[in-house]
Structure 1
Amino acid sequence: PGAGARRRRRRPGRPAAGPGPALDPPLRGVVHAAMHLDDAPLAELDDERFRAVLAPKLGGAVVLDELTRDLDLDLFLLHSSVSALVGNPRQAPYAAANLFLEALVRQRRARGLPGTAVAWGVLGEAGYVARNGLAPAMAAAGLAAIGTGEALAALDEVVGA
């Protein structure tokens, strides 16, 4: 009874092992929040660096989609980034991976499956920006950060919690 959370990790590039044993209670939702950055101009990125950025976000989403297509999920939530919409000259593979998430959600919905991608902007109190002290630089560039409370409230509204 009730809700719970289980976290599973899989190394990018490894094949999925299959759905695994039945869960009790059954799996009702998936949240995918992988991220890897390699800030550099596109011309400086070789295939290995480009793929290293794509693998966690794009590869993970593909595996989760494949493993859950036949499950009766209430939620398939992908954490995307506003970079998918506006780009970033030093984060081309990251923007591409996030744009892929948006397309995957459209594809899932076309098949009648749940899917939501939240294109986050600058989260100032948690995550990469906060850990690396980037909020002031982002603000100077005109990108206002949102707080954790505001982000969680928005997420509740988006997923209908």
Structure 2
Amino acid sequence: MIMVSERRPNETPSERADRNFGDLLQELRVTQTGVQILFAFLLTLPLQSRFESLDAWERDVYVASLLLSAMATVCLIAPVAYHRAVFSLHKKPLVVRVAARFAIGGLFFLALAICCAVDLVLDLVLGRGTALVITGGLALVLLATWVIFPLLQRVGDLPEDAAESTPPEDH
């Protein structure tokens, strides 16, 4: 499900596509910072002396987190590469739809990478059982805030006061 905002009065399809693409790029800028920090952190972990003492589970979680972060990075940068490849074809609405799909994929991989990275650190600090419980709670929070709440907002199942601050033309 790709969320594209409604047309504003007197707005041409080209202007709408430009506005939607600008909004998407701003969202990607915010997301990319978090992905870069997480990815950089994960890239430096094997250089730490304690890394050698990780057990098989911790190494697997580390590898999963690193690969998921890499996938999130790829997906969140892909809209720029895609736009560069097709910008002269005058297909901005298509670029917006494809870029939005890449962004959703990037957020999916980012959520999984965050969970894996948190689980790894908590496993080292608090132990495996506690880490898994807390990470499960984090996964539920991510699911609620990044998926369930926006979908409920989209279908109009939220009380008016929860939706009050978002104008209907925004995505």
TM-score by length of 2: 0.28
Relative to its length, the structure with more strand (as a share) is: 1
TM-score by length of 1: 0.29
